[in-house]
Chains A and B, each alone.
Chain A
Amino acid sequence: MKSLKLTLVTGRTVEQGVEGEHGKLRDEYAEKVAVIELDSEDLGRLGVSAGSPVLVKTAHGEVVLKAIAAKGRHPGIAFAPYSPWVNVVIDSETDGSGMPTYKGIEAEICPTEERVVSLEELIRKHYGLEVDLSKLAGQEVSGGEGGEEQLIKDVVCPFCGCLCDDVEVLVKGGVIVEVRKACAIGSAKFLDHRKERALHPLVRKDGEFVKVSLEEAIEEAAKILANSKYPLLYGWSSTSIEANELGIELAELLGGVIDNTTSVCHGPTVLGVQGVGTVRATLGQIRNRADLIIYWGSNPLNAHLRHLMRYSALARGVFIKGRKDRKVVVVDVRETPAAKMADLFIRVKPGQDYELISALRMAVRELDIEAKEVAGVPVEKIYELAEIMRTAKFGAVFFGVGVTMSPGKDETIENIIRLVQDLNEWTKFVLCPMRGHFNVTGACNVSLWMTGYAFGVDYMRKFPRHDPAIWTVTELLSNGDVDAALIVASDPLAHLPKEAAENLAKIPVVVVDPKFNVTATIAQVFIPSSFVGIEKEGSAYRMDGVSLRMKKVVDPPEGVLSDEEILSLLLEKVRELRGA
C-alpha cells in the first residue's frame, strides 16, 4: 500500500471554532474536526480522493482521519485541526517547557479501509469509558415569549484574544436574536450559546451520570478536591478575572496546582519574556503607526478573524490609513489565507523558525551568512526581509502558536524577541503574541499579580512555586502526578496529547463549563455554568493587555450559576471539609 512521510501540523480552523462553540458532542463537530488537510499533490501521490479516510501514524499512535484538500498549497505538510482525534498521535514530551509539540511532527499517512470513529468510540477505545452521548446531549434553552427588542451596543466579544468591543447584540424576550459586527465565530458564540446547553449538575454513580441538585454536586466536587492529596486546577482562560482570583485562592487552600491554558499555547512566550524581556505595544499604537506588519506562525484569518480589519494589516489608523500604507509579510510553513494577501511570503521549513530568526538577526546586522539557504529560505530573501524590517518606520510582529509549538519552543521565542530588540537600534519594532482564548491574557495577568508567575503554579508548600517542566498540565498528567482535577472553562480532553488525556481519564475530575464538553464525558462531577460575557459580567484582557469589562446581555438559564458563584460555593465547602 502506498504511504507518504509528511510533516504533521495541528492548529485552529474557523470550522473547529464555530462547531466547538455550538457543541462538541454533535456529529457535525466530528465531521469538521476529524479531518486532515493534504496538498492536492500529496493526495495524488497517495492515490486517495478528498473525503476518503486515511490512517495517520506517528511514533505515538495512530488514528483514522478524513482527508480533505488543502486550500493553500503546502506539499509535504499535513494539517489537522486540534481535536480529540488527532491528539491521539501527539507526544506528551515537552522538553521541560510544559508545551507539547503540536506542530512539525513526523507522520506517515496511508489510505485505509477503516472509517473515522465517532467520539463515543474514541472515548471507549482510548480512555476505556462507556458513554452514551445521546443521553448527555444538551438541550436548547427556550427564551421568553415576545418581549421588547433591545439593542445592546459596545458589547465585548468573549471569543478570542482580539476582544472586539464594538459588537452589537439584539435581544428580544431575553434571547439574542441578532449579532452585528462580530466575526463568524464570535457570532456563533453569541447565537449558539443557548444550544446544546447542559442545565443540570451531574454526578457519576455506578458508572452512570445521574442528575443531582446543585448542593449535592458542590458537595461531591468539594469532597473530591478536599480528599485529594494533590489536585490540579486547570482551564481559566475562558472565564473572568474574578473567577480566576477565586481559582487561585482555592489552589492555595488545597495545596494543589493551578495552571491555565497558556501552558499549551503561549507558555514558551512567557518563558521567553522571563529570559530576555519583550517589546510590546497596544493594538491601537500598531494600528495608528505600523507601516510594516509581520504575521509569523499565526493565522489571523482562521483564528483572529477581525484582527486584520481592526488592528493590523487592513486597519485604518491615525497615521497609517490602511493596507496601501503598509507592507505585509507572512512567515509560515504553509501558504495560509493571510499569505495570499501579503507583499512577501516566506515559507519556512517546519520546526526551523529558530534558524531563520538567527539568520535574520545576522542579516539585520549586515553580517555574512555563508549558507545559500537557511530553513528552506534563500539567503537573498532573508537579506530582503532584513532590509524591509530595518527601513520600516514602525514594525510589528504578530506571532502565533506556529512559533511557540514548534521545536525550540522558548528558545525560539527568546530569539524572536532578541530580533525585535535588535531592530530597535535602527527603528521602532514591537511584537505581540496572538493569544487565543478571550481571557488567556487575563489569566496570565491575574496569576502574575497573585503568585508572581503567569501559569503552572504549585501550592504544595503553601506558597507559589513555578517550574514549567513540573507544574504544567501536560507534565503533571502524563507523569501521573495529580490525583484529582477541577477543570473550569476548558476542554483539555479535546486538546491534550494522548498520554496526558489518558491519565486525566483515570482520576476523579470535576468539570465546570457552560456546555457538556469532551472532558465532561469522563468527569465524576459536572456543574453547568453561565457564559462570561453573555450571561455574566466580568473583566477580561485583550492580547495586548488592555483590560475590558465584559457585559451581561441576557440572563443565564434558570438555576445555572456563574463560575464565580460556583467557585465561591466550592471554596466554602472545601474550607468546611478541611476544617479550616
Chain B
Amino acid sequence: MNYIWLGLMVIALIFGAINGRIDAVTKAAVDNAAAAVAIALGLIGIMALWLGIMKIAEKGGIIRILSRAIRPLAKLLFPSIPSDHPAIGAMLMNMIANWLGLGNAATPLGLKAMEELQTLNKSKDTATNDMATFLALNTATICLIPMTVIAVRVQLGSGNPFEIISTTIVASTCAMIAGVTTAKLFQRLPTFRKSDPNRTKEESENDAGASHD
C-alpha cells in the first residue's frame, strides 16, 4: 500500500506539473479530502441501520442457519476459522448483499466481518491470510445485476439495456475466481509467509531452516 499510495501521489504531481494542471491537482486534493469525510459521515446512518438489523438476524438465528449451509465452502476458503465463528456469518451476509447489488448494505456488513476477523488476528496492524482472501472476494465480487450501469443504458435509449447482465456475470465471476486464487497462492510465497501474523512457531523455524539450505 505504501508504494501504491506513493506512486499515485508522485505520478499525479509530476504529470500535473508537466500537463500544466497543477492547480487542478491541488484542487482535487482539497476537494477529495472534504469528500472523504462526507462519505464517512454519510456512512454512520447506514452503518447503524444495517448493524442493527444484522444484530436482530444474529439473535434470531438466521445467520447461524445460513452459516451452517455454507460450511463446506467456508472450510475451503477460510480453513483457519472455526466453523461456528461469527466471522463466517458476517462474511456470508456481506457476500449476499454484494451479489444482490445492495451496495449500501454490503459495506456495513463487510466492516462487521472485518471486525470479527480481527478478533482472530494475533498482530492487529497486519492483515491475516483470511482477511486477504475476504478482501479478494470483495474487490472482485460476482455482480448479478449491475443496476447503476443499466439505469444509464435505459436513459440513453438502449434497445436492450439488460443484455449486458449475462456478460457481466461471466466477467465478474472470472474476476472473483482469479482474485481468490491469487490470494490463496500468494499467501504461500516466502515473503507473505514471513509476514503472516498467525503463523506458528514451527512454521517460522521451518522457514528459517529452509533458507539455510
A-B complex is real: no
